[in-house]
Amino acid sequence: MSLTSKTIAELRDGFRGGDFSAREIAEAYNAAVAAAKLLNAYTVETPDEALAAADIADQARLGGQPLPLSGIPLGIKDLFATIGVDTTAGSHILQGFRPTYESTVTANLRKAGAGMLGKLNMDEFAMGSSNETSTYGPVISPWRRRGSNVGLTPGGSSGGSAAAVSALIAPGATGTDTGGSIRQPAAFAGICGIKPTYGRCSRWGIVSFASSLDQAGPMARSVRDCAILLEAMAGFDPNDSTSLDLPVPQWEANLSSNLKGKRVGIPKEYRIDSVPAEINALWDQGIEWLKDAGATPVEISLPHTKYALPTYYIIAPAEASSNLARYDGVRYGLREEGVKTLDDMYAATRAAGFGAEVKRRIMIGTYVLSAGFYDAYFTKAQRVRALIKQDFAKAFEQCDVILTPTAPSAAFGIGETTDPLAMYLNDVFAVPASLAGLPAMSVPGGLDGQGLPLGLHLIGNELDEQTVLNAGLAIEERAGFAARPEKWW
């Protein structure tokens, strides 16, 4: 078995046992990354950083003191500030931006011994579900429909992360999730991805999109790998005012697929006839798998589900329009020259620097926050958000974890979805958990009739990542998902 097809747990254990060196791992991955340019997954490659971390890891092992992630090189979504390495959030307006500081999450990963393979492509400012809004052009999914060579999207916004992990050009990657941006691409790419409880991972040094929703999380090829990475990423950070001042649980050590006594909530509002039959069939199969693991399914109701997406599309653009006000051509990033006044410089810079979807969302956000509309839209959405949160609180009196499909379709073709609203629908199952700040995970469940991966989605109660991971493990063991895209790149 080649080094690049091993899981993070296997790499870690093999490295510690002396089966191979960290340098060998880094070299194998650097070569794989360099050979996969057709996927457009990386925006920057940092092979030297991967090798430097590997050499430190090899030294640490000789000294008998390997760190939790010693020997593991990772892909980093381009939303995380990385010192001295271009950090652009997939936007033209940030091209050439080299942070003089490091995000807390990537600093935590480095402290745990991990190296960096490079920065991963993404939808511009994480606004998109297909990676098509990136200034670098779309990531091409390594997956293809059976017998077809049509280019498919890896989902988004963490599409580079999903493509890299499934194409074996990163053993794991960081992602961020505002309304499904870890889970939907994980489902499309046949990998695992978890968004922890809001506040578990520091937002410091992550380019802001919608601050009340943004949350970092890992994407990897197994549930165990997600637990390993999340333990390293999470933790209290005084630099983030919404960071949770709580110890990081030992998620990996407490992994167990025995769900005896656990109740799995099946929300009736998520049963939508027009979703492809294969997706609802996989959902039923998921219920059977969890029953087999000892859990009891219970029907639950989340009555405000249908309002989650419109609520999200008020709150997220509103926060984005405020957060993105900082791109003014003065402090960093692009400046459009050749205009006379300061005001014209702002407007020209932002016109040239932002792409169409980002402009659309800034316009919606500015509109719903503008005088006379603020209460009707923004405050109203915050009230409905409270009701959505209440729905979940009530549901978790009856169950311990909730099972749904991750997305209403398998991966679609690049350029196939052009309507903004149709694109937004990709996150119909993912957004409610985001609005409620709950931990949620996508785990691959199987392939559809065209040979494309489909994901199952687990939502847990506040701070209960463990039950989400354990239910994910139970599904992983029973689904036996081992499919990998056939190499064409």
Partner 1 sequence: MESTEWQCWIRTILAPESLGLSARLAALGPRRYPPPMSVSPEQARHIAKLARIAMSDEELARLVPELNAIIGWVEQLSEVNTDGVEPLTAVIEQKLRLRDDKVTDGNIRDDVLANAPEAQHGFFAVPKVIE
301 binds partner 1 (CB under 8 A): no
- Shortest CB 377 distance to partner 1, Å: 7
Burial zone of 487 (CB within 10 Å; 0-12 exposed, 13-18 middle, 19+ buried): exposed
Q: Of the candidates 310, 479, 484, 489, which one interacts with partner 1 according to CB under 8 A?
A: 310
Q: Which of 379, 398, 449, 488 binds partner 1 (CB under 8 A)?
A: 379
211 near partner 1, rule: CB under 8 A: no
Interactions with partner 1, residue window 242-261 (CB under 8 A)? 242, 244-245
Which CB, 354 or 396, lies closer to partner 1?
354
Beta carbon of residue 280, minimum distance to partner 1 (angstroms, whole number): 13
Please, which residue, 10 or 464, has the CB nearer to partner 1? Answer: 464
Binders of partner 1 among residues 118 to 137 (CB under 8 A) are none
- Of 230, 384, 402, 456, the one binding partner 1 (CB under 8 A) is 384
**Does 397 engage in binding with partner 1 (CB under 8 A)?**
no
The C-alpha atoms of residue 353 and residue 336 are separated, in whole angstroms, by 9
Between 281 and 369, name the residue whose CB sits nearer to partner 1: 369
| Active-site annotation, residues | 77, 157, 181
Residues 417-446 that bind partner 1 (CB under 8 A): 417-422, 425, 428, 435-437
Beta carbons within 10 angstroms of residue 3's beta carbon = 20
> How many residues bind to partner 1 according to rule CB under 8 A?
87
Q: Which of 109, 364, 403, 452 binds partner 1 (CB under 8 A)?
A: 364
Cβ 21 to partner 1 shortest distance, Å? 35
Binding mask 215-244 for partner 1 (x = CB under 8 A): -----------------------x--xx-x
27 burial level (CB within 10 Å; 0-12, 13-18, 19+): middle
Contact 8, 29 (CB under 8 A): no
When the beta carbons of 31 and 352 are compared against partner 1, the nearer one is: 352
Q: Closest approach of Cβ 65 to partner 1, in Å? A: 31
Contacts of partner 1 in 262-281 (CB under 8 A): 269, 272-275
**Residue 80 touches partner 1, criterion: CB under 8 A:** no
284 touches partner 1 by CB under 8 A: no
Q: Does 366 bind partner 1 (CB under 8 A)?
A: yes
Q: Which two tokens stand for residue 133?
A: 């809004």
Indicate which single residue of 43, 130, 153, 311 sits in contact with partner 1 (rule: CB under 8 A).
311
Residue 387 touches partner 1, criterion: CB under 8 A: yes
Question: Binding pattern to partner 1, positions 165-204, x when CB under 8 A?
Answer: --------------------------------xxx-----
Residue whose pair of structure tokens reads 């340019």 in the numeric block: 37
Instruction: State which of residues 62, 150, 277, 330 lies at the interface with partner 1 (CB under 8 A).
Output: 330
Smallest separation, CB 390 to partner 1 (Å): 8
CB closer to partner 1 out of 296 and 382: 382
